[in-house]
Structure 1
Amino acid sequence: MNGYMDSSAVLAQIEGFKKSDGDRESLLMKLIKQLEDLKEKYEEKCDDHENERQSRRRLQRNCDDMKAQLTSARQTMESSPFVLALIDGDGLIFQDMLLSAGREGGSDAAHRLNAAIRTHILSLYENAGQWAIMVQIFANFEGLSHKLASLNIIKYPTELNAFAQSFSLNQPLFSFVDVGRGKERADHKIKETLRVFIVNPSCKHILFAGCHDYGYLPNLEPYKHDPAMSSRITLVESTPAQPVYSSLNMKIISFDDIFRNTPLPERAFMPMQQLKSSLPPTQPSSVATAPPPVQPPPVQPPPVRAPVIAQPVAKSPTPPADSTWASVGKTGITEKKISIASNKTPRRYIVFNADGERLDLPIAKADRASQDSLHQRIKKGKVCNDYHLKGRCENIGCPYSHAPRLTQMETLVLRNKARGLSCVQGSDCFDFNCYFGHVCANYYCDGGPQCYFGHRHKDQMDTAPAKKYYEDGTEEDVPYPG
C-alpha cells in the first residue's frame, strides 16, 4: 500500500512495545525491591557487627578487669596466708612444769607451741615459711584453775590468769580465752570458729585440738570424703584420740613436750593412811567453820615450881605439866589461885557420809548489815578468798583486795558465798582448808545446767555424817542419831 505499514501491524507492534515496557518496569521494580531488602539486611548485619564488636570489647575489658582482680586477690592471699590452731583448753592441758611456772611458763608454752606448729606446717607445704600462725584456746578458767590448784600444779587459781596473759602476749596472734562456766561454751566457740575459717582462702591449714571429745565429730565428718578439705586439717591429740577420729582421713599428731599425754587425776587427795603418815605433828587449830585462826604463841619449856612464900598450913600447888609461865605466874610472885581450865583449841575435822563422800559442816548466817557492808566493799574491788578465809595468801601478784581485813561477820558472809561454789574435787576433797561447797545447799535444786554440783544433792546422796577425820590424822565414827 504505497510503501506504508498496515495500521493493524503498527498497533500490534505498539502493543508489543507496551508489553516490553511493562516487563522492563516490572523487572526494575523487582530489582529495586531486592535492592531495598539487601540494603535492610546489610544494615542489620552492620548493626549486629557493631554490637558484636562492642560486646567483644566490653567482654575484653571485663576479662581484663577480672584478671586484674584475680591477680590482686591472689597477691592478697599470698601476702597474708595463715595457719589456725583451735584448742579445747579444758581437754588439752599444758604440761605441769609450764603451768607451775606461771607467767614464765605461759611465755615458754607460747614459744614452744609456735615452733612446733611451724615445724609441722613446713613438713606439709614448701612455701609456708612466712605464713602467720594463729592460736585460739578456749577454756573455763574458773573450773580449770581450781582443778589445777587442787592438784597442786599451781598454788592459787589466779595463777592461771597470769599464765594465760603471758601466753597471749608472747605471740601477736595467740589468744587464751576464758569462756566462763558451762561445758558447751568452749565447744560452741570452737565449732563456730572452725565453720568460719574452713572456707577462708587465706587460712591455709587448720590444726584442730579436740580429739578427746566425740562432740566435735559431726563438725569434721563432712570433710572426710573431700581430699582438698581433709588435707587442710590436722588433728592434735594429747591423751589418745577417740578411735572414731582415725576414720576421718586426717593426719593426727601430738605435742608431748607441750601438752599432757595423760588426763588430770580425778582425785586430788592421798589415801587416809598416807595422809596420816605425811602430816607433821602440829598443834590443833580451830574448828572447820571458824574464821582463820590466830597463830598460837610458841610453846615454852615445862616450868619449874615458882618460889613462893610458904604459909603455915598450905603448900604451893604444883602446876600441871603442860602449863606455861603465862598460866602459872612470873618468877618471884606468889599466886593464890591457878586456873586449870584447858586452853586447847578444839581439833579441826571434816566429815564424810557412810559412802565416803565429803559433807559440809553447817555455818551460821550473817546479819543483813554485814551482807550489805561486804557487798559495798566488793563493788570497789573483789576481795581475796584465801586471805580472808584461810588467813593467808601466798600469791605475790594477787589482784584481789587484802586490806583492810574483813570483820568477823563480813568474813562469815564471804564464807557463805564461797560455800555456794562447787569444790572441783567434789566428794573426794580432803582439804581441811577448803572453803568451797561439796553438797548443793539448795534442797529443792533439780541439778539443772545452772547448778555446778552435779549429782551432789541432798535428795541424791546420804547427808548423814558417818565419819570424822581430824587434821592430826585420827578419825572417829559419828554415832547415828536416834
Structure 2
Amino acid sequence: MAQDPIGTPRRSTSLANSATSATGLGRSASNSIWTTDSAPSRVTSGATANTASLAVGGSQSEHVQGLWDRFTFLKNTDNIKNNLLEDVLTRYSHLTQVFEEYKRENLLRLGEEGGKKAARQLKSAAAKYLASLDGMPKDLRIAARLYTNVSGLAQTCVRARLVSSVTIVEDFLRGFTYGDDLFDVIDVGYGKDRADGKVIANFKHEVHNYQCRHILFGCSHDNGFARHLERYTHDDATVAKVTLLEGVPFEKELRTLPYQQQKFPGLFRDSKIVVNSVDLVTADFSRLRHDSKHNLNVFNPNSAVFTPPSQTPAPTTPAFSPKTLASDALGPLRNDLTRTNSMSSVALSEAAPSVSTPNGGGWANIAKGSAHLPYKDLTKKVAEPLPTGPAVLLNKDDQRIDVEMEYDHEKVFSLKKIKLCNQHYIGRGCCHYQAGNRNCPHRHDLNLSAEDRKWLRVVARETVCKKGTACLELDCIYGHHCPYPKQTEGPQKGIACINGVNCRFAKEMHGMDMTVAKTLREQDLELMDA
C-alpha cells in the first residue's frame, strides 16, 4: 500500500482513476502526475491538462450557443403566435362590428316585428342602466317618445338602400309603438325644425316634472341641441337628472357638456345614414314597377334610385320609321294607342279621320290627319325669376338650393387667410364673442366694408351646413350643396367637382337638381312652425 505526501494510506491507482473520471484523459496522462520523473515530464503532463480544459470550454460554448438558438426560435415562435392572435382578435372585432350593424339594420328590415324587438331591447337596456344609478326605485316605468317625419325618414332609408320600400319603415315604426304601451312614435310632418321643437318642448316639460326621475336624451347627431342644454349646466339637479344617449358619435359641442353619457351597443346606428347620389355614368334609368305591400303608400315606383324587392321592366314602346310605317298599319295602332297621362284616354282613331296613302304613307300623312285639331301653344314657358328677398329655395326633392354668387379668387383667398368669424360679421353673431370668452378661434377685430362682407359670404358658402339639404333657416350663411366647379376631364367629367373624393360636401350634395320647384318665404316658414 502506498501513501500520499501527508501519510494517508490509499491505493496507488485510486487518485489516477479519479482524475481520469473527472477530466476524461487517458491512463498515461493521469499516472504521469504521480511519477517522480524529471521536470520535463511534469511540464508535458501540465500541457495535457490545459488541452483538456480547452476541450471542456469549447463544449460549453457550443452548449450556450445552442441555448441562444433555442431561445431565439422560441421568441420568434411567440411573436408569430402573438401576431396571429392579434390578427384573429382584430378580425373578430371587425366581424362583431359588422354583425352588430347588420343586426341593427336587420331589425329595420323586419318591419313590424323588428320594431317590436327594438322596443323590447331599448326598454331592457334603459332599465339596466337606470338600475345602476343611485336612488332609483325598482318599479320604474319607462316611457319613450320618438319624434320624426315618418315620410321623410322612410324615403331617406329607401334612397340609402337600407330597405326596399317605405312601407317597411312605416311597419317598423308601427311595431315600435306596439312593443310597449308607453312607447310612442309622433309623426311631426315635413321640416327638420319641427322635430327639434317638439323634442325641446318635451324636454322642458319633463325636466321640471317631479314624477320623472331621469331623462335619457338622444341627441348625439345634432349640435343644435347644445344651445338648449347649456342653459341647465349650472343646475346640478338637472345635470344629474339627464343622460345624453349616444348613437352616432357626439358632435363637438355636445361632448364638452357636463352631462352623463351612455351608449347602448348594438341598438342604435353608430354612423349617419348616407344617401348615395345617382351615378350618372353607370346608373340604370329604366323605369321599374314595384309591387307594394297591400298597394298602400307606394313610394314613387318610377324612381331610378328605388330598389324594389321585385322588378318587372315596363313595356318598351316600339320605334317606327316614316319609310316603314304604312297606312294599313295605322288602323290597329290608332285603335290601341291611348294617352294615359293627366288627360282622358282618347283613341287616336277617334281624333282624326282616316287619310288615304297612295304613295305608301309617311309622317306627312299623319300630320295631315291631325290638321283639323285645335292649335295648342307648345312654346316653352319662361322660367320665373328667382326671388330677390329672403327666401328658401327647394327643388322637387325638397333639397335646398343656394342662390348663385359671384366669385373672385384673389379676394376670396385673401379673406380666407385672415380667418374671420363668419357668424360675427354676416351671421347671427358669435355666441363666444358675445359671452366675452375666447373660445372662438377666429378674428372679430377688423372693420369690414360691404364689399368685404360680400366676398365673406362666398367664403362661408364653402362650409357645409350641418343640417345639409334639409336646412330651412332663412338666414343660413353656409352651403347646402357643393359650390365648386365640376371636373372638365376624366371619367367623372361633368359629375364630380374639382376636389374629387376629398370634397367636404357629401356625395348626395353633388349633382343635385338645381331647378327651383318651391319658394318658401318668411310667412311660409312661420306657418310650417305653427
| TM-score for both structures, normalised by structure 1 | 0.42
Q: For the pair shown, which has the larger CA radius of gyration, 1 or 2?
A: 1
Higher relative contact order (CA 8 A, sep 6+): 1
| TM-score for both structures, normalised by structure 2 | 0.39
